[in-house]
Structure formats: C-alpha cells, structure tokens
A and B are shown apart, each in its own frame.
Chain A
Amino acid sequence: MRTASKMRAQQPQIPGALGVPQTRSGPAVLAWRPRPLLSALFYNVGPFAALVAVWALVVALIHPSPAVLPSPLRVAEEVVFTLRSGVLPDYVQRSLARLLLTAAAVIPLGVMAGLLVGLVRPAAATLMPVFRYLTAIPAIAWLPVFLVTLGFNETSIIATAAYGFFFPVLFNTLVGVQTVPRVLRSAIRTLGGTGFHVIRDVLVPGALPSIAAGMRLGFAYGWRALIAAEMLVAQGGLGHLLFRAQSVGFTPRMVAGMAVIGTLAAAVDFFLMEPLEERTVRRWGTVRP
C-alpha cells in the first residue's frame, strides 16, 4: 500500500483533473488481497490443517477401532514418543543414509553413462530399447536375485534402491542428449570447438531439463524401491519400521511412519527436485522433452 501511494505521489498532480480524487478510496478497496505471508500460510498449512480436522471429525463421529484408524492426537503422541525414545531418528537415519548413498553413486554414474552412450549415435540407437526395457522392470523384482548374490544385507537393499534410481536418470539423459539438435553440435565443431566443448556447452545444457526430470523420476522409483526392500529385508529403515508395526498390529506407529515418509519425500521433491527441474527448464529448455 505504501509503495502504491508513493508512486501516485510521484505522478504529476493536475488539480481538478479526472481521476485524482478517486485515488483515495475506490481502488484501494477493490485491490484488497490477503498479505503474501498470510496467503502463503493459508495455502500451505491450511490444507493439512483441514485434513487433520476432517480426520479428527471422522474418528469422533464413527469411533473406529484404533487398530483401524487411530485419532490424529494418538498418532501425534506416537510421533513424539518414538522421537524421544530415539526409535524414529534411528530408523529415519538408516533410510536417509541409504538414500543419500544411492543418490551420490547413481546420479553421476547415470548422467555420465547417458552422455557417453548419447555421443555415439549407433550405440544410442541400439541401447535405447535395452535401457527402456531395464527401466520398465520394477526394481523390487530384482531383490531375490540380489539377496542370493550379494547376501541378505545392507548391500542388497541399496542395490535395489540404486536399480530403481539409476535407469530413469540414464534413460532421460540419453533422451535429452538425443533431442539436442545436431546442428548445434556441428556449429560448435565448425567454429573450432573440441569434443569437450560440445559436451560442456551443447550437450549438458541441452540435456539438463531432461536430466532433471530423470532425477526426479529416479528419486521417486528409488525411494519406493528402498521402502519395499526395507520391508522384505528387515534391517532398519522406515520400511522396516512400518512392517514391524504391522506385524504386531500397532496402527498408530504405522500412520506415524507414513506421515514421516510422506513429509520426507514431499520435502525432497519440493525443496530439491522441483526447483531444480524448474530452473533447468527455465534456463536451458525451450520445450520440455
């Protein structure tokens, strides 16, 4: 409001001219909007407050058995209890460590492999269907094979998550490289650029929107594969937490675990993946692949 009135003050005021008296009341009322902070609060906290309210209402009206649907309060208590007792931090930390290790290994590997294969046209054309096929196989289906070859341990869990994470990154990098018009590569070459210049100044920027999309999808697949593998291998992690609670029929802990899984995944997606994708699309991408 203050800036608006300042701007008006800077305009030449012609006494008696049309519009001058109107600047006082009319537009100020019409242009009322919730303040940005309030609006942000409303649209980000509001939906979850509404969800909890509806959930509490349903529990209050229907009185379901706590084993079927515990009240929000009961779940909140469980979150606090598991936080204090150190159970939740321990299980969360296991899952996050696995996820980080997977991401750190898989993203550079997938991008590099995608770029390398993409550079050689016949190789790309031949390997594309292979990668498409390998991407299509659910990572969790490989778990039995990993278990017998790598052992019933941490390595198998990480291998399963890595499989789910790796192929979308690789495949999308490859698609990204291939959608860069060849004219651009030729142009750099004609101007005397080396192969390195082509990679750094044409292929990577050109493929980046697609790479970002691949990372986002890879994270979604890898995270789900990780939780499923944790359920089956049962050596810590959020999947194991959920599954252990299930085996004794302890629903509040299950719902608490789901809330944590959702919050973590939504946070990674919202703070990491979405900005990355948006930034790369805005900066380098013209048409989303």
Chain B
Amino acid sequence: MGDRAPVSIARLPAASGMGLAGPFAALGIVLAAWWIIIGLNVVPRAFLPTPIVVAKGVAEILTTGGRLRDVRESLLGFAVYYPLAAGLGIAVGLALGLVSGLGRFMRPLLGFFNAIAGIAWLPLAMMWFGAGTPTVAFVTANGVFFVVAVNTLTGVQSVPDIYANGLAVLGASRWRIVRDVLLPGAFPTILTGLRLALGFGWRALVAAEMVAAASGLGYLVYRSSYDFRFDIVWAGILLLGFISVTLDRLLFTPLERWTVERWGVVHR
C-alpha cells in the first residue's frame, strides 16, 4: 500500500528492458564494426583511423586552444541563435494563429519559406553580410525560425474551437483563453517544432560554417580534411553528433515528461 513506484509515461520502448547493458552493447557493436571495416582494408588507413586514434583526436580538439575555440564558437553561437529565433517563431506563430483569417492566409508563405529555410539562404546571406559569423547566424536563425513558426501556427489552429468558445461563454478574457486553452493545447506541437528546429538549426550552422566561415566546428572538420588530419575530421564528426544528441536530451526529455504529466498528452 502506498509504495507504488511512480510510473513514467513518456518512455520509448527501447529504453526499457536493457538497463545499463544497452549503451555498452551499442558501443561494443560500433567499435566492432569499426575494427572490421579497418580490417577489411577497403578504406586507406589515413582516411579511416582506428578508434584509438580518433579518441586521441577528440582529446586534441578538447585540449588544444585553437581547436577548442572552434567548438566553443559553434556552441555559444548556437546557444544565442537558437533561443532567439525559436522565441520569435513562437511569438509570430501565436500571433498569426490568434487571428484566424490571417493564420490561414500566411500559412502557405510560412510553408514556402520553411522549404527553403537554412542552407539555400547562404549565398544571399553572403551577399548581405559577407562570409563569416553574421552569415552563419542568419542561416542558422532562419533554419530555426520557420520550423518553429509553422508548428506553432499548426498547434494553435488544431485546438478545437469548442474549448475556446466554452471558456468565452463562461466569461473568460481573451488573455485567459490564450493562457489556459491555446497555449496548453498547442504546446505538444510547439515542442515538436522546437525539437525539429534543433536538428535543422544545428545542420544549417554546420553547413554554413563549412561553406562560408573561417571558424567553428564545421569549419574545423572541413579544413582538417585539407590538412589530411582525418583523425580530427572523424573526431569532429563524432563531436557534432554528440552535441546534437546531448542538446536534444537536455532540452526535450525533461520538457516532454513535464508536458505529458501536466496535460496528459501522449506524445511519442
């Protein structure tokens, strides 16, 4: 009695059952596959270094001043562009969603810009800002903004009118309806948008750094291939994935659990 363990609702099926063995097994499989490919000798050793060499590459990136600066530049930049663009996207999506005709009118435009968001803006951004950090910032923010705005608009529009009307009939103010009906109703969709935007934004940042910048982790990866430092290339690629997975985990696992518990929406 009373000692029931709390049941976690939002859990991917894969997370259960394996316990700690899972990650280690996964790591083991990856390393085994890596060694097998090296053993097959299909790729020259210079282009595919051993895991140990790549691990040393990671250590070199994280301890050498110049290389660490590239990592920091990408991370700090993203930590500024992402929240700003996402916040703006939520605000615009909400504002458009509140005026029903306007939301419907603007939706195709948002969809169109969402389809070009990110890397396609790079050449034009280079004309406007020149190669360098402002261009990277613009392309990243652009990649984030439209996904968030479209998803916020979708979320607001998908809340059934009957809830808003119900509150209005009971005498609720407009602000109250936004706070208690539209925002909670749209929240899972906004969350999906934010999560997608993390992926799109990070990709846009890396691509922009590779094509149009002289610093950042994307640039480090591309530049190192010209220096024939493939240990750094591989280490950089692994770090790019690691940062993306970690950001996703840090930001969205708690948020998702909180939404599910608070509003009881089954979301994945």
A positions within 8 Å CB-CB of B: 43-44, 46-48, 50-51, 67-68, 121-122, 124-130, 132-134, 136-145, 147-149, 175, 178-179, 217, 220-221, 224-225, 227-228, 231-232, 239, 242-243, 245-246, 249, 251, 254-255, 257-258, 261-263, 265-266, 269-270, 287, 289
Sample 11 A-B pairs with CB under 8 A, ordered by A number: A43-B105, A47-B105, A125-B22, A130-B29, A138-B207, A178-B14, A220-B200, A224-B118, A225-B207, A246-B124, A254-B127
Stretch at the interface among B78-86, B165-173, B175-183, B232-240: B232-240
Q: Is the CB of B248 within 8 A of A126?
A: no
Q: Is the CB of A140 within 8 A of B210?
A: yes
The smallest C-beta distance from B216 to any residue of chain A, in angstroms, reads 12
Q: A137-B237, A137-B241 are in contact. Are A228 and B211 (CB under 8 A)?
A: yes
Q: Which of A127, A137, A225 contacts B244 (CB 8 A)?
A: A137
Q: Is the CB of A262 within 8 A of B241?
A: no
Q: Is the CB of B221 within 8 A of A144?
A: yes
CA separation between A26 and B100, bound complex, in Å?
Answer: 26
The smallest C-beta distance from A150 to any residue of chain B, in angstroms, reads 10
Q: Is the CB of B203 within 8 A of A140?
A: yes
The smallest C-beta distance from A68 to any residue of chain B, in angstroms, reads 7
In chain A, what residue has the closest Cβ to B205?
A138
CA separation between A186 and B33, bound complex, in Å?
Answer: 33
Q: Is the CB of B116 within 8 A of A265?
A: yes
CA separation between A128 and B248, bound complex, in Å?
Answer: 15
The smallest C-beta distance from B264 to any residue of chain A, in angstroms, reads 12
Q: Which of A121, A129, A144, A242 contacts B123 (CB 8 A)?
A: A242
The smallest C-beta distance from A160 to any residue of chain B, in angstroms, reads 10
Q: Which of A43, A138, A245, A255 contacts B108 (CB 8 A)?
A: A43
Interface size on B (CB < 8 Å)? Answer: 65
Cβ-based interface call for B126 (8 A): yes
The smallest C-beta distance from A241 to any residue of chain B, in angstroms, reads 9
Q: Is the CB of B234 within 8 A of A266?
A: no
Find chain A residues with CB under 8 A from B128 CB: 68
Q: Is the CB of A179 within 8 A of B115?
A: no
Cβ-based interface call for B191 (8 A): no
Cβ-based interface call for B26 (8 A): yes
Q: Is the CB of B119 within 8 A of A138?
A: no
Q: Is the CB of A266 within 8 A of B112?
A: yes
Q: Is the CB of B203 within 8 A of A221?
A: yes
Cβ-based interface call for B252 (8 A): no
Q: Which of A47, A228, A249, A258 contacts B109 (CB 8 A)?
A: A47
Q: A125-B22, A178-B13 are in contact. Are A138 and B202 (CB under 8 A)?
A: yes
Q: Is the CB of A136 within 8 A of B245?
A: yes
Q: Is the CB of A262 within 8 A of B221?
A: no
Interface centre among A138, A221, A266 (most CB of B within 10 A): A138
Cβ-based interface call for B225 (8 A): yes
CA separation between A147 and B120, bound complex, in Å?
Answer: 22
Q: Is the CB of A144 within 8 A of B233?
A: yes
In chain A, what residue has the closest Cβ to B221?
A141
Find chain A residues with CB under 8 A from B200 CB: 220, 224
Find chain A residues with CB under 8 A from B104 CB: 43
Given contacts A51-B109, A126-B29, 4 further A-B contacts (CB under 8 A): A128-B26, A141-B236, A149-B47, A149-B48
In chain B, what residue has the closest Cβ to A223?
B115
Q: Is the CB of B116 within 8 A of A228?
A: no
CB contact list, B182-215 vs A, under 8 A: 196, 199-200, 202-204, 206-207, 210-211
In chain B, what residue has the closest Cβ to A230?
B119
Find chain B residues with CB under 8 A from A134 CB: 241
The smallest C-beta distance from B75 to any residue of chain A, in angstroms, reads 15
In chain A, what residue has the closest Cβ to B108?
A47
CA separation between A125 and B12, bound complex, in Å?
Answer: 10
Q: Is the CB of A48 within 8 A of B108?
A: yes
Q: A68-B128, A128-B14, A249-B127 are in contact. Are A148 and B225 (CB under 8 A)?
A: yes
Q: A138-B240, A224-B119 are in contact. Are A126 and B126 (CB under 8 A)?
A: no
Q: Is the CB of A142 within 8 A of B237?
A: yes
Find chain B residues with CB under 8 A from A139 CB: 203
Cβ-based interface call for B30 (8 A): yes
Q: Which of B124, B199, B238, B244 contacts A255 (CB 8 A)?
A: B124
CA separation between A133 and B243, bound complex, in Å?
Answer: 10
CA separation between A217 and B147, bound complex, in Å?
Answer: 12
Find chain A residues with CB under 8 A from B245 CB: 132-133, 136
Cβ-based interface call for B43 (8 A): yes
The smallest C-beta distance from B142 to any residue of chain A, in angstroms, reads 11
Q: Is the CB of B123 within 8 A of A243?
A: yes
Q: Is the CB of A254 within 8 A of B124?
A: yes
Q: Which of B108, B124, B242 contacts A258 (CB 8 A)?
A: B124
Q: A127-B29, A129-B22, A254-B123 are in contact. Are A149 and B43 (CB under 8 A)?
A: yes
Q: Is the CB of A179 within 8 A of B123?
A: no
Find chain A residues with CB under 8 A from B18 CB: 122, 125-126
